[in-house]
């Protein structure tokens, strides 16, 4: 016997989930999102040129600071890893050879990608040149 309650994917009746409740909650989510967007738009519209300048100045300071901190964290992590790896000469040589192989592999991949991009660009240029030449020839013959 079906009493109007929503049957979900599991096939079980969920007394807290009715089509009406789902519709209401979806509408409420929509209203909430619209209100947040409107508030953000109002806040952006109320900014003065000084606010924009302040924002850009903060970014100009914070971006290099953040990049420096990330670089520092990576150096600290790498030094820690290296100190663990290079406890003996054999381990150090083995690790260096492995890193060299990975580097050479990456360089080959970068080279292939660059070559592919260059060839694609050259093909596009030739295609456009041919198209322009064809257009000019048809205009001259008219």
110/4 Cα distance (integer angstroms) = 61
Overall number of domains in the chain:
3
Q: What is the largest CA-CA distance in the chain?
A: 82
pLDDT attached to residue 127: 97
Per the structure, the complete domain to which residue 106 belongs is given by 98-142
pLDDT in tens, the chain (142 residues): 555 555 555 555 555 667 777 788 888 888 888 888 888 888 888 889 898 898 889 889 899 999 999 999 999 999 888 777 777 888 888 888 999 999 999 999 999 999 999 999 999 999 999 999 999 999 998 7
Task: Identify whether residues 108 and 69 lie together within a single domain.
Answer: no
pLDDT attached to residue 9: 57
Task: Identify whether residues 57 and 76 lie together within a single domain.
Answer: yes
Torsion of CA 93, 96, 101, 106, to 10 degrees: 180
Task: Identify whether residues 141 and 102 lie together within a single domain.
Answer: yes
Closest alpha carbon to 98 in 86, 109, 110, 87: 86
In a domain, 90, yes or no: no
pLDDT attached to residue 41: 86
């Amino acid at each position: 016997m079906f009493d109007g309650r929503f049957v979900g994917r599991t096939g079980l009746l969920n007394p807290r989930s009715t089509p009406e409740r789902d519709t209401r909650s979806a509408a409420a989510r929509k209203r909430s999102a619209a209100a947040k967007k409107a508030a953000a738009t109002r806040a952006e519209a109320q900014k003065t040129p000084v606010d924009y300048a302040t924002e850009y100045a903060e970014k100009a300071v914070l971006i290099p600071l953040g990049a420096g901190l990330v670089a520092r964290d990576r150096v600290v992590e790498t030094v820690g890893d290296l100190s663990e790896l290079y406890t003996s000469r054999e381990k150090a040589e083995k690790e260096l050879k492995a890193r060299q192989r990975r580097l050479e592999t990456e360089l080959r991949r970068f080279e292939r990608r660059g070559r592919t991009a260059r060839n694609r660009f050259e093909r596009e240029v030739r295609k456009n040149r041919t198209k322009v030449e064809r257009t000019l020839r048809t205009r001259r013959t008219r």
